[in-house]
Amino acid sequence: MPHFIIEYTDNIKEEARIQELLKKINDVLISKNIFPVGGIRSRAIELHNYCIADDSHDDAFVHASLKIGAGRSEKVKQATCNEIFNVMKDHFAHLYQHRYLALSLELNEFSEAGTYKLNNIHTRYKKANASDNK
């Protein structure tokens, strides 16, 4: 963990630069030094079926969800979400200036009970850290 998931309306696909945003978010999460790098996942879901407000305009939205395991302090969670939302606002500023656009971010924190994981990506980072310490 963490997982960052965005849903975005297909009417902004050409201008949204979604892959670039996902990389920016991963960079934020890595920079915090509190999440295992091998567990960070960011992904996007392009929405083709949606209805916004009264459906009378070509409105758009981007909704993000950050899922993390329990145990981080409120201060850490708030700082992380603030930084991520600022990245989102900066990233979409050009769109926000010339079209109707709703941006949102929610934090989902869950216990480890009921989650099942198998991940050998962590091993790569443990090996890299070990060789850095030599």
Number of domains in the chain: 1
* Cβ contacts of 128-131, under 8 Å, gap ≥ 24: none
Q: Which domain holds residue 122?
A: 3-132
Comparing CA positions, the residue from 58, 57, 28, 61 lying closest to residue 42 is 28
| Amino acid 96: pLDDT | 97
Q: Which residues are catalytic?
A: 2
Query: Is the pLDDT confidence value at 2 over 70?
Result: yes
Q: What is the CATH number of the domain that holds 15?
A: 3.30.429.10
| Amino acid 124: pLDDT | 80
| Amino acid 94: pLDDT | 97
- At 128, is the pLDDT very low, low, confident or very high (cuts 50, 70, 90)? low
CA 73 to chain centre: 19
| Amino acid 111: pLDDT | 77
43-78 pLDDT tens trace:
999 999 999 999 999 999 999 999 998 889 999 999
72-115 pLDDT tens trace:
999 999 999 999 999 999 999 999 999 999 999 999 998 777 77
